[in-house]
Structure formats: C-alpha cells, structure tokens
Structure 1
Amino acid sequence: MNTWKQTELMRRLDLSLPLVQGPFGGGLSAAELAAAVSEAGGLGSFGVHHLDAAGIAATAAAIRQRTARPFALNLWIPFEGSDAASADDAQFAAWLAPLQPYFDELGVAPPQRPARYSPAYAEQVEAVLAARPAVFSFVYGIPSADILARCRDLGIFTLGAATTPDEAVALEQAGVDGVVASGFEAGGHRVSFLRPAEESLTGTLALVPQVADAVRVPVVAAGGIADGRGIAAVLALGAQAAQIGTGFLACRESGTSDLHRRALLGPQARDTGLTRAFSGRLARGIRNRFMRELAAQPVAPYPQQNWLTARLRPAATAQGRADLMSLWCGQSAPLLATPDAPEATFPAAADYIARLMRETAAAVQRLENGVRFTSPKG
C-alpha cells in the first residue's frame, strides 16, 4: 500500500504525489514545466520575483491555459532597502568596473544606471494575490501579517523557505501554512534570512528532522534530492513532500538553455560551489571561470549585481560561453544520468516524474523488506 503517497500536505493541496517542483527565477521557470508537474499530480511552481505585476498576471494565465491543477507562484521577500534603486553614478561605475572586461569580451555595450534594479515588491504581491494561485511560496523572509491574513481569506496556502530550525519556527509563529526545509546541497540561492547565508549551511539530512521536530505545520524537504531514494529518505525524516529543483531544471520544458541542461547532465556538475558573483547573494552553481575570477573581487549587493550580470547572460548564452554563465546546479545533479537516461538526454518532465515514483516505491519496498539499498544502476 502506497501510504507514502498520503500526507496532510497532499490532502490540503489536492496532490496525488508528494512532489514539489522547485521554483526558478530569472527566466528559468516555464509555464510548460509548472503545468506538466501539476498535471502529473505534484505541485508545479514558477519563480516570479523578476517579473512586474503584468508579467505575473500573464504567467498565471499561461499556466492555467495548460492545467486546472494547483500550482505555486514564488516571490523573494525584499531585505531592508533592497527593493529600491540606490547609488549615484560614481557608485554605479564602481560596481560596473569589475564586470567591464566581460562586457568587452562578449561585445556588449555597458549599461547605463537604471531607474530601479528590480520590480516593486508591493506591486508583485498584489499581482500574486489577484492571480490566486493555490500556493504562494516565498524565500528570504516572511510576508507581513496583513499579506498572510489576505492569503488565508483567499484560500491561498502559504509556503516559506527555511535554512535553519529557527527560521522554520519563525515562519510557523507568523502563521505560515507550511515550511520548505532547504539544505545547503540545493542549487541556486541560499535563502537564509535570520542569519547570514554563510552561517546557515546545514545539510538536508540534518536539517529536515530538526525542522520536523520544531514545527507542527507540514514540512517540504529540499536540497540534494534528484532520485527516488532521496524522496524516500526525506519522507522517512519527517517531510511530507520533496522539492526538486535541479532535476526539473534539466527537463526539456524548463526555461533554461540546452547549454545549461548539458552541463547539469555532464561530468562538470560534480563540481559545484557557492558564489555571490552572479547576483550579489550566495548561490550554488557549477564552478566556472566567472565564479573563480570574481571570487577575489568585491561585487555589488543584490539586486544591483543581479541586474548588472543579467545584461551579460543573454550574450554569454547566445555565444555558447558556459564559462561566463550562471549554471545553477545542486549537488544531486550526478544522480540524474541513468542507463535509460544517459548524459545529454533531456527528459520530459512527465517521464522524469514517472522515474522518480518508480524509484521511490522501490526504495520504500526495500526498507520494508529490510534489504540493503542498492544503486538504481544495478
């Protein structure tokens, strides 16, 4: 009996699988991917922190054109002072200076100082509430009490990310409906908010049971999960679902480039590191030249650094310059290639999910039978 497919979180969100697609920002999310995950019985997600209100409305509509199933929209909670444009021309020039050689190398004209570096958070929140997704998920903090109350009134489930047990407790005390316990193995940004990210690097195996013990709300585990063994493990640790990012980023429906997908499925994915070079905030990706060269130089804070490097990324992608791209990748990426899905084969999301569920069922069965775990490769 598949009791592992029956959790409170699944019941509350009308899911048939204990599976959440990690939300990707910066154009890596796709309506096709979110809809495919939701259609399969999991929770599809779309990271909208880079979009303005009109873009968020259009995104929700695009997902609903493809599925009537529940999905999540994800926002970044702004830190104090990070939501507004700042700095004069001299400061902007200082931030641009370390990146100027890369603009020159890629043949991109250096940008002028913008009116602002990111969309207005207040307008984004209003757009998310107007869209009324089944789930409003968020990182880097906790929405205001007023926003959480409005979500409850609208029947929107709130799901906040924690990198420490203290952050999980803070989310629960604020009235958040569920917690994503994000271990440091995860790809992309480290979403700590009570302490600096460098002081909040707890692995998933240690983090999930501590969070499950600390809060009563449903817990979703994230970080280092790419196959069914990982799903079975985090369910055994007390999570009610597993959130997978890197695995879905490698799927053909994601919004990333084939160059990035090949890197996720290739040997270079075995070497990841944490960097502030691309966005100004700590994030995990495949080590490359850009990360190494910027490691010794001061970079602008977020969102200014993120805005600046976003002017470089399209040219790097178009020119096939993986050495200058942000190749977000979790430590679980080497688990993606199997005999029936070799390197450089981009799976469809539905096929990847079917594989995950087969592996999870097999892992649970081995545990019930008391048989030693073996590799799915034989």
Structure 2
Amino acid sequence: MPNRLLEALSISHPIIQAPMAGGITTAELVTAVTEAGGLGMIGAGYLDAESTRHQIREVKASTDKPFGINLFVPSPYKEEKDVIAKAQRSLKPFLGTKSLEIEFTSYEQTLEIYLKQVEVIVEEQVSVCSFTFGMPSSDVIHSLQQAGTYTIGTATTLSEAVAIEAAGMDAVVLQGSEAGGHRGNFLEGVEQSMIGLMALIPQTVDQVNIPVIAAGGIMDRRGVQAARCLGAEAAQLGTAFLTCKESGANILHKQAILEGQQEDKTTLTKAFSGKMARGIENDFIRKMRKVEHELPDFPIQNTLTKPIRSAAEQNNDRDTMSLWCGQNPNLAEPITAKELVHKLVDEE
C-alpha cells in the first residue's frame, strides 16, 4: 500500500524516534535515526529559542536528511501561593537541608518562549514540527506550513485526533495508554485518555483522513507491523530509543529499564511535573502518591522538583529520578540507533 508519510517526509522507513525532552534526544541520536532512514526528532519542550536553534544546527551539521522537532503547547496556568507552599512542604523530606529560592516562569513568559521557538523553526526550515500537550493556534500552523514544515499533532482519543485534522494539521500521533512519559491529552481528562493503542488506531483511521502515527509500547518489528496492519502509516518509539547508545538519558535511567525489567513496574504519576506521566515506580512516586491530587499543575510542580531531580542525577539516586518508561521495557536493548532501526524494518 502507498505510504503518504514516507513520501511527504522523504524518509525510507516508517519509523519515528519519539522526541523525548530533557536531554534524552541528543543531536547524535536524532542524526543516527535520520541517517538510518527513519525520522529523528529533537525534543525541544524545555529549551529556549537560542538552545533550540543550536540543537537544530547541530543536527544539520551532521546530516542533510529531513528531521523533526517537537514543542510543548503552553496552557494557561497561575502561581497559587497556598498550593505551592503545600507542595513545598510535601517535598521538604526530599530536599534535605537545602533552602531554595525558586523562580517560576509565568504563562506569558512561557508563551513568548514557545512563539520564539516557532520563529526559529521557520527560519531554520526544519522539515517536521510536532506538538504535544495541546493544539497550536491556526497562526502557528499556517506560519509553519507556509515555510514548508510538515505539522503533526498528538492525540490520546478519537475526538482529539478529529480536532487535529479539523485544525488543518498534516498528520497525528496517536498516543496509546501504554506510552512512557507525559500524557498528551488536551480535550479529555487523563482517565478518558487512557485508551490502548490497538483499540485507538482502527477507530481513528476510520474517522480521519490524515496519516496516523502509532505510539505507545512499540518496541520491535512485531509492534510496528501490528500498528501498520491496523492502519497506522508509521510507528513512533520512545523507550526503545531511550536505551540506545546515542541517547542522552542518565545511565541509571537506562539501567532501570534494561536491568529491572522483571521486578519494576510502570505507573502513572503527576508527582514529578504536575502532569500525568508513565514511568518506573520508585520511592518518590510512592511517598508522594497520597498528596498527588493536591499538587500544582505543570509546569509549576516541574519547577519545584527540578532541584530534587538534579540532585538525584548527581548522587546516583534512582529513587528520586523521573524514570519515564513505556509498558514494554522487557524488549529494550543497549544497541545503537542504527541497529534498532534496522531491526525494526528487517524482513528477514
């Protein structure tokens, strides 16, 4: 069957490396996937405009093939002092004796950073831009498409996919409940967004005309083929690429996936960031569970826990790290991105 995505993106294989923000998707990882015939994606959700431009140019210096980038769509939020103070009291046992003066970025500042990132993507003529945590405005979609950038939204439900198509975006990533990392729901609550990928694909391809990209728990060729059989035109993989040699994930994060596969289980938590995300359960998640519903929303909670996560990396403390991981870690391997892409598409 013809594959509209392969043609539109000028890639050889229907494999997209998930744009994992926070330093996991290094220029080396993005380049390796792109050079292997898939689509490498920069995770720019936590970057400013200058850092975004720098990483785009790093990838450009290593490959002349198409690659993409992902942005977080900002949603309005406020600093509620009493909620923040309560969260800080809950986090105090994890901070030790540290006394921290934390500065929060306002919604208006976050929006300004995001719009500057869009300007950079237009100026740098990046081939693909995907979005999560919401839908970009019509102005943003139009400016990117006018510059020749292919736009992709993220949906966790059929209604979100329909909204993405109605907004004029070029394709949609369907994020099944199995996916690691943050949930991308924006029309429905988290509970309503927890649809398994194999149920979500067929109902969506029957209702939308834009290409569908499957994401969530896909780790090998069987998963790619299953998604394709149900109507997806490509598969997006995160955890599988996270353990690759070029990934910038902390070594403890990689080890937690590669070595703890039988004992550790994944769970949903908003304790780290204020937004629900799937990761390997640890002490921090367990101890924060009883106050989870009282925590401030993303990105306020994410800012509050940043010193805890930074200290965890410095102290090699797996119990206070955000160990994002999908529901199928047993198939993860410590191989190169090129080797992974080849295994995903090898017909032998």
- TM-score calculated relative to the size of structure 1: 0.87
Number of the residue aligned with 1:289:
283
Shift in Å, 1:42: 0.6
CA contact (8 A) 2:156 2:185 kept: yes
Structure 1 residues 87 and 113, CA gap change in structure 2 (3 angstroms): farther
Alignment equivalent of 1:129, drawn from 112, 122, 131: 122
Shift of 1:21: 0.4
Q: Secondary structure at the match of 2:20?
A: coil
For 1:271, the equivalent position in structure 2 comes to 265
> How far off its partner does 1:108 sit?
4.3
**Which amino acid letter does the alignment assign opposite residue 55 of structure 1?**
S
Query: Residues 182-224 of structure 1, C-alpha deviation per residue, up to 9 Å, x if partnerless?
Result: 1010000110010112221000100011111111111100001
State the alpha-carbon separation in 1 of the partners of residues 193 and 80 from structure 2.
29
Mapping 1:1-378, distance limit 5 Å: 7-79=3-75, 81-82=76-77, 86-88=79-81, 91-104=83-96, 108-114=98-104, 116=106, 119=110, 120-268=113-261, 270-297=264-291, 298-337=294-333, 346-358=334-346, 361-362=347-348
Give secondary structure in 2 for the equivalent of 1:66: coil
Using the TM superposition, give the Cα deviation of residue 352 of structure 1 relative to its aligned residue in structure 2, in angstroms: 1.4
Q: Deviations over 1:29-82 (max 9, x none)?
A: 211101111111111001111111111111111111111111111011111x23
1-side partners of 2:190 and 2:122: how far apart? Answer: 29
| Distance (whole Å) between structure 2 residues aligned to residue 111 and residue 248 of structure 1 | 36
SS at 1:214 equivalent: coil
Give the Cα–Cα distance (whole angstroms) in 2 for the partners of residues 286 and 115 of structure 1: 28
Corresponding pairs, count = 342
Q: Using a 3 Å threshold, how does the CA distance of structure 1 residues 92 and 9 change in structure 2: closer, same or farther?
A: same
What is the distance in 1 between the residues matched to 2:181 and 2:229? 25
Task: Give 1:324 shift.
Answer: 0.5
CA distance in 1, matches of 2:318, 2:43: 23
Partner of 1:312, secondary structure, is helix
Structure 1 unaligned spans of 5+: 338-345, 363-378
Identity %: 41
Distance 1:168 1:16 in 2: 25
- C-alpha contact (below 8 Å) 1:26/1:50 kept by paired residues: yes
Distance 1:267 1:194 in 2: 35
Consecutive unaligned residues of structure 2, counting only runs of 5 or more, are: none
Distance in 2 between the 1:109 and 1:332 partners?
A: 39
Largest Rg, 1 or 2: 1
Structure 1 residues 88-141: Cα deviation after superposition (integer angstroms, max 9, x where no partner): 4x554333211111010xx64434334548743222222222222100100122
TM-score (norm 2): 0.94
Quick one: distance in 2 between partners of 1:234 and 1:112?
44
In the TM superposition, residue 169 of structure 1 has moved relative to its aligned partner by 0.5
The one-letter code matched in structure 2 to 1:113 is E
What is the rounded CA distance, in whole Å, between the counterparts of 2:171 and 2:60 in structure 1?
Answer: 23
Q: Is the 8 A contact 1:268 1:286 kept in 2?
A: no
2 CA distance for matches of 1:257 and 1:188? Answer: 15
In structure 2, what is the Cα distance between the partners aligned to 1:332 and 1:34? 22
